[in-house]
Amino acid sequence: MRYLVLTDIHANLEALDACLTDARARGYQQTLVLGDLVGYGADPNAVIERVRALKPAAMVRGNHDKVASGLEPPDGFNAVARSAAHWTFDALTGPNRAWLAALPAGPHTVDDLIEICHGSPFDEDAYIFDELDALRALKVSARTLCLFGHTHYPVTFQLSAETFDSTGPSTLAESRVDLRPGRKYLVNPGSVGQPRDGDPRAAYAIADTGAARVELYRLAYPIEEAAAKVVDAGLPEVLAQRLTVGR
């Protein structure tokens, strides 16, 4: 099975469409969505409708999905995220808001190989930043490959009986992680709609269970268009600026 893996789309329709076009050309059968479909970007309804049309095999909610759908108050959100969450709540149609609120919490077991979560397998809202967080997550994870998001930072951690390694973002448009026997993997493909690793290109992955590998892709998309929509929508301008720098 080839799974298209999308996380942290954040209502960026231009980035999502670029990823979908690229992924279709590469071929995949099913879609996995790791949360934060909305928040920050100007197209929450259109993004939800695109994702729903993909009929994902599995999805989990992100912290922005919970707040923007009214499920949780924006505690812990900074002023910009809070403002975007209010804007998104108002912009969402009733049915889309209800659909978002009904997304399941992670972690979620997809098949014999893969588990997905938004933040970490031990807490849907926890951030995996460093090796300590990653080790804890790898020990809790129920599958060989745990796919996560939330930090908007592409990274791979791998654990065997003898070794523990991490690999950060690649500058290449394509890179891959080969899943070797006897190891556990924790992979963040990076954010579709709001990258924060200094590379403004959209990020997504294809997890190929037959070939035992994760393919990681970065691609250019019409950033200026997405940024202009953010400004026109009356969202905080800093959200447009950060798209262009990938921070």
How near is the Cβ of 128 to Zn ion at its closest, in Å?
A: 13
How near is the Cβ of 86 to Zn ion at its closest, in Å?
A: 17
Q: Which is nearer to Zn ion, 8 or 22 (CB)?
A: 8
Q: Is the Cβ–Cβ distance between 186 and 134 less than 8 Å? A: yes
Q: Which is nearer to Zn ion, 85 or 177 (CB)?
A: 85
Q: Which is nearer to Zn ion, 111 or 199 (CB)?
A: 199
Q: Describe the crossing of helices 79-91 and 238-245 by its angle, rounded to 10 degrees.
A: 100
For residue 111 the two structure tokens come to 């098949």
Q: Which is nearer to Zn ion, 38 or 134 (CB)?
A: 38
For residue 66 the two structure tokens come to 């919970």
Q: Which is nearer to Zn ion, 20 or 81 (CB)?
A: 81
Q: Is the Cβ–Cβ distance between 186 and 148 less than 8 Å? A: yes
How near is the Cβ of 203 to Zn ion at its closest, in Å?
A: 12
Q: Which is nearer to Zn ion, 68 or 206 (CB)?
A: 68
Contacts for 91 with CB less than 8 Å, ≥ 6 apart? 44, 45, 233
Q: Which is nearer to Zn ion, 84 or 179 (CB)?
A: 84
The type of residue at 22 is D
How near is the Cβ of 64 to Zn ion at its closest, in Å?
A: 6
Nearest CA to 217 among 10, 27, 40?
Answer: 27
Given the rule CB under 5 A, which residues bind Zn ion? 8, 36
How near is the Cβ of 141 to Zn ion at its closest, in Å?
A: 20
How near is the Cβ of 13 to Zn ion at its closest, in Å?
A: 16
How near is the Cβ of 10 to Zn ion at its closest, in Å?
A: 6
Minimal CB distance residue for Zn ion: 36
